[in-house]
A and B are shown apart, each in its own frame.
Chain A
Amino acid sequence: MAESLVALHRPSPWHSFRAGMWLGWQIESNWADPWVFTIYAVLRPVSLAGILVVMYAAITRGAFDSPVFTSMYLGNAFYIYVGAITSGMGWAVVQDREHYRTLKSIYAAPVMVPYYLIGRGVAGLVTASFSVIVILTLGVMVLGLGIGPGTVEWPLLAAGLGFGVMALAFMGLAVAGIMLLTGSESWALGDLLAGALYLFSGAVFPLDVLPSALRPIGLVLPVTYWLEVIRRALIPGDRGASALAAWTDEGVLALLAALTAATAIGAMTLFRVCERRARQRGLIDRTSNY
């Protein structure tokens, strides 16, 4: 009996992840009825895509069949995952600690906090995926993007998405670790990281447009290779980002896998260090006039 109780309460990564994901989804979605939530979930990303479309149309008079536009549109669409996962995890720490004031209870419960936080971040994946699908559908139907189920390289897309989501989740974990040490004044840390990734990964423009001094930053980010893999999977033969044009699909994927692994190790280490310091300084349950 005692052994089974111990087994019952032993924290596992999967249970912690699942609990975090379920809670994250509830917090994100249960404030409105499904229709209102659907409109809300789609409105922001579609507007962001709309800004780029109008900017592009203002200059090129609507030359949407250009590979530059396709690359920009796809990068912007899939970038939604970056904001949803990375910012979401940092924000989860502030929410749990200062708004709901449950972080100390979570630490006291049989929960593996890093996996719980990754679950909180991944909860945004569902909403983000829905937005991405809507934006891609609009792109194909309204703007004539040449993407179709028959032309997509599905294995490459699945592998790219898998590694990409993992990389984003671990980046979010790093942000969450830093947020454990800072007050609510650092609320925008996740947004800042997401913004920097938007800029340096060449999400909406070829990396070559960046000043040469800034280009190396983009070349060490997993998001750069992730977006490149996605573009190549959706538009086979596309080599829009000329900085990576010489690489084969397998080469880009391998680099993405390696950078994801490096991000995972770095993020876990950083989170552990930050978490230990937060415990030592008694910061787990502090509030900073949220």
Chain B
Amino acid sequence: MDVRFDEVLFRRGKRTVLDVPAMEFASGRVTALLGPNGSGKTTALRLIAGLERLHSGRVTVGGTEVRSAADAAPNVALAFQRAVMLRGSVRHNLDLALRFRDLDLTRRQVRIEAVSNACAFGHLLDREARSLSGGEGQRVNLGRALALQASVTLLDEPLAGFDAEARREMTLRLPGLLRQFGSTVIFVTHDRDEALRLAEDVVVLREGRVVAKGEAATIFAQPPDAETAAYFGYTVMRCGDRTTAIAPGGLRLGEGDVCFDVLVERVLSVSGVVEGVGSHAGAQILFRIDPSQLTPAPGDVAVVSSEARSVVRFS
């Protein structure tokens, strides 16, 4: 099922949290919702799940307008960022969720076995759910949403709460899980690499507005503006009125056609070689000064050129 936002406006008090004229999440695709804190990512998920009331516009799931959680529930599953469990065992928690889908006992048991094995928490099924550690709880939280095999699965930071090792393991496991249990999947993340590994499409939100949407590889290769590029981890450099963004690991030593301004702090002369120490956007830069050029003084702004690959230029 596809998910559409049409002329959506959502406010909290006087603050506009989400203002989206049009946005579509294609059926059967895995989409990452990216953006800094407060950009409206979680609100977007909550609107799809019918947990928030819109001020204007409409959200539809498979063509049906979502006005409340009851409208969304038959087609949508949501894993919250924080793993919230009811009293009782892990098995009871999963079973309760499936009972709302009117599945008979046998099918519920089969579903619980399948998802607990796939998410690697089969050994936790008879444990008290509220005694689980953060990572274990998050695994069960994810499993509960996937077990529903909903037409639209929403995951709010599915890898938050895992330690580094478990996070690596789940990053490898998740694509298979989403293929096996998910259909249309929309997940919120802050992590560019996580989005690249898991998502086919990305939507980038900033201050409640969509600033980029499209195929993940394309959007990451061509961020729409310097701010988005910086959010993706690009090194953004300014030279006069030109802005250049260099992909992570793209900056190379040596002369090239990428230039940026450096605020000179010190000038050193060692064995006839003149070098400068300065800063650009908070980073310390060591640069060589061409002896044929005028030597800059501390406090001057020098233009430094370098070689780089994966460069995006903004006017």
Partners in one complex: no
